[in-house]
Structure 1
Amino acid sequence: MVRHCDSIATLVFEKSIRSYPGQFVMLNVFDYEEIPLSLSSPNSVTVKAVGETTRALVNFKGGEIVGIRGPFGRPFSYSKRALIVAGGIGIAPLRYLYHWLRERNAEVTVFYGARSKEELVFLDEFEEVHVSTDDGSYGYRGNVIQLLIKENVDFNDFERVYCCGPPIMLKSLYELLNKKKILKRAEFSVERYMRCGIGLCGSCVLENGLRVCREGPVFRGDELTF
């Protein structure tokens, strides 16, 4: 158990889960509910307290027992030259991806935005990272999409653009990449409410009919609409 700040923590499991970056597990917190969480490593999830169950997870002391189903979903793909764009707790699956790519000798550049310095996690793990905070407490003052534009990033320098974050951030990045006609080279990790995690209940169906738990949670940019 690693407590990053009052609202964010990483829960480390006793055993690794055979998985790939971008996949998720259904975590059953006894006396609460079962929720989907992206893996932040083969043996961990990183969670932000946004409701009763996630608050309970963040307040764990270590040694607790949870139920795990999975891993589920389509993961990220490999590329030799990667650009990672993370917003907030979206850094969780992208942290797993970062280390997986680096272990396979990929070149990885990270752009990472959060509300404040307090909510920046795993920052010291990245070799090349550009940071923004909404309140200006660390790095560039503004959001991560504004930072990409400010630094005039040439997306043609990368084989893949990987991203995860809040919907408004994903929408802004989608529009930016669409203008540059490179959506096919982008991979978006999308979050939706899920009940079953295996494609049966329909709770996570997108507007285009794709299920986040089965066809996702990682989608190519040209598979999505915002």
Structure 2
Amino acid sequence: MTIKAILTDIEGTTTDINFVHKVLFPYAYEHLPGYLRSHADDEAVQSILTEAREVLGQPEADLETLISAFLNWIEQDKKVTALKNLQGLIWVSGYENQDFTGHLYDDAYEYLQHWQQQGIDLYVFSSGSVKAQKLLFGHSDFGDLTPLFSGYYDTHIGHKREASAYRKIAEDIGLPATEILFLSDIVEELNAAREAGMATVLLARDEPVASDHLVVENFQQIALNA
């Protein structure tokens, strides 16, 4: 198996899931109403609100209705693209104000650097928006890591549990799927990537997991091109 590119998930893979659920999500939830009321006329926000109305099936929904919908989606951990894009905008101010930095496991930081220096192209595929991905890596615990990555993908390209998304990513990267390794902590995502032809590794950081995917505890245990 020759791996020329690595596609990695973020939450639970490069980043502690608690950072997302105990820092980022609560921050967005707390600041969302005020942010929307202050920025409702911004072009980027207008586009998000239009998309949210389509998801709700309420083309005439007013701002307060939309605020309630967004908060409800956060409470239910819904993978709604409009919500992900809005959260990304809200997190900009959090990162820029240094209210927090993007968590990264030490081994992820070390090996992402190592692989990139070996000439392996790195890509990200997360349910969080591309904007949110770049914010996390751009304001990480280890500084700006965005130069490490050759590209970012979110739910605009497809759902993470559907093989078609991984086929589209392989096509966009310009490599056969068999030369791409996907890293994730979610079996259903790995199943979809494998169906598309990618190599897969399951990150089980907290406790052992039985799986027909290769299982590792950290990036250090991932052997490439062996």
Please report the TM-score for the alignment, with normalisation by the length of structure 1: 0.37
Structure with the higher strand share, 1 or 2: 1
Of the two structures, which has the highest relative contact order with CA contacts closer than 8 Å and spacing of 6 or more?
2
More helix by proportion, 1 or 2?
2
Pick the structure with greater CA Rg: 2
